[in-house]
Amino acid sequence: NLTGTHGPERPLAHLTPTTGWMNDPNGLFYDNETATYHAYYQYNPNDNVWDLPLFWGHASSKNLVTWEDHGVALEPMDDESGAFSGSIVIDRNNTSGFFDNSTLPGQRIVALYTENSNVSESQFAAYSLDGGYTFDYYEHNPVLDINSTQFRDPKVFWHDETERWIMTLALSQEYKIQIYTSENLTSWEFKSNFSHHGILGYQYECPGLAKVPVIHDSPSNVTLHGNNSTMNATAQTNSSSVDHKWVMFISINPGAPMGGSFNEYFIGDFDGETFTAQDAATRVVDHGKDFYAMQTFSDAPNNDVLGIAWASNWDYAAYVPTEDYRSSMSLVRNLTLRPYSPNPETTEFTLYSEPILNYTQLNTNQSMHKTSLELNSEESVSYRLGKSPQGLLEFSLEWKVNSSALTSKHEFADMSLYFQGAEDDDEYLRLGYEQNAAAFFLDRGNSEVDFVNENPFFNNRVSQNIEIYKIAEDGLPIFKVRGIIDRNIIELFFNDGSSTSTNLFFLSEENYIGTVEISSGVDNVYTILDFDVKQLSVK
Tell which residue, 520, 519, 526, 518, has the closest CA to residue 405.
526
Residue among 114, 322, 502, 520 that touches ligand FRU (CB under 6 A)? 114
295 is a site residue for ligand FRU (CB under 6 A): no
Residue among 9, 91, 153, 467 that touches ligand FRU (CB under 6 A)? 153
* Least CB distance to ligand FRU at residue 262 (A): 11
* Least CB distance to ligand FRU at residue 221 (A): 38
> How far separated are the first and last CA of the chain, in Å rounded?
12
Residue among 205, 286, 304, 414 that touches ligand FRU (CB under 6 A)? 205
Tell which residue, 414, 485, 415, has the closest CA to residue 444.
485
- Residue whose CB is less far from ligand FRU, 51 or 450: 51
Beta strand 262-270 with 275-277: parallel, antiparallel or unpaired? antiparallel
Indicate the DSSP class of residue 329.
Answer: B
* Least CB distance to ligand FRU at residue 143 (A): 16
353 is a site residue for ligand FRU (CB under 6 A): no
* Least CB distance to ligand FRU at residue 167 (A): 14
85 is a site residue for ligand FRU (CB under 6 A): yes
- Residue whose CB is less far from ligand FRU, 42 or 237: 42
298 is a site residue for ligand FRU (CB under 6 A): no
- Residue whose CB is less far from ligand FRU, 250 or 516: 250
152 is a site residue for ligand FRU (CB under 6 A): yes
171 is a site residue for ligand FRU (CB under 6 A): no
CB of 514 closer than 8 Å to CB of 385: yes
- Residue whose CB is less far from ligand FRU, 256 or 375: 256
Residue among 3, 42, 296, 527 that touches ligand FRU (CB under 6 A)? 42
* Least CB distance to ligand FRU at residue 372 (A): 46
CA–CA gap between residue 457 and residue 475 (Å, rounded): 42
- Residue whose CB is less far from ligand FRU, 29 or 84: 84
* Least CB distance to ligand FRU at residue 257 (A): 18
CA–CA gap between residue 460 and residue 469 (Å, rounded): 27
Q: What angle do CA 328, 88, 359 make, to 5 degrees?
A: 45
87 is a site residue for ligand FRU (CB under 6 A): no
Phi, psi of 222, deg, nearest 5: -100, -10
Phi, psi of 360, deg, nearest 5: -70, -15
Beta-carbon contacts of 150 under 8 Å, excluding residues fewer than 6 positions away, are 121, 170, 171, 172, 173, 174, 203
* Least CB distance to ligand FRU at residue 238 (A): 35
CA–CA gap between residue 144 and residue 141 (Å, rounded): 8
Alpha-carbon dihedral of residues 30, 286, 432, 340, nearest 10 degrees? -90
Number of chain positions touching ligand FRU (CB under 6 A): 12
* Least CB distance to ligand FRU at residue 293 (A): 5
Tell which residue, 222, 289, 208, has the closest CA to residue 28.
208
Rg of the chain taking only CA atoms, in angstroms: 23
| Active-site residue flag, 160 | no
Binding-residue pattern over the window 249 to 278 for ligand FRU, x denoting contact by CB under 6 A: ------------------------------
Residue among 2, 28, 206, 252 that touches ligand FRU (CB under 6 A)? 206
- Residue whose CB is less far from ligand FRU, 44 or 103: 44
293 is a site residue for ligand FRU (CB under 6 A): yes
CB of 117 closer than 8 Å to CB of 170: no
Three-class secondary structure of residue 204 per DSSP: strand
Residues in the chain: 539
Residue among 24, 290, 467, 491 that touches ligand FRU (CB under 6 A)? 24
Tell which residue, 102, 154, 334, 151, has the closest CA to residue 239.
334
328 is a site residue for ligand FRU (CB under 6 A): no
- Residue whose CB is less far from ligand FRU, 115 or 398: 115
- Residue whose CB is less far from ligand FRU, 152 or 211: 152
122 is a site residue for ligand FRU (CB under 6 A): no
**Set 24, 153, 414, 532: catalytic member:** 24
* Least CB distance to ligand FRU at residue 481 (A): 28
CB of 149 closer than 8 Å to CB of 172: no
Tell which residue, 286, 290, 291, 277, has the closest CA to residue 248.
277
22 is a site residue for ligand FRU (CB under 6 A): no
Beta-carbon contacts of 230 under 8 Å, excluding residues fewer than 6 positions away, are 219, 223, 354, 396, 482, 496
155 is a site residue for ligand FRU (CB under 6 A): no
- Sheet of 176-182, strands arranged across: 151-159, 164-171, 176-182, 189-195
- Residue whose CB is less far from ligand FRU, 11 or 25: 25
277-296: b (≥16 Cβ within 10 Å) or e: beeeeebbbbbbbbbbbbbb
CA–CA gap between residue 491 and residue 512 (Å, rounded): 16
Beta strand 513-520 with 381-384: parallel, antiparallel or unpaired? antiparallel
414 is a site residue for ligand FRU (CB under 6 A): no
Report, as residue numbers or ranges, the catalytic residues.
24
State the residues that interact with ligand FRU by CB under 6 A. 23-24, 42, 54, 84-85, 114, 152-153, 205-206, 293
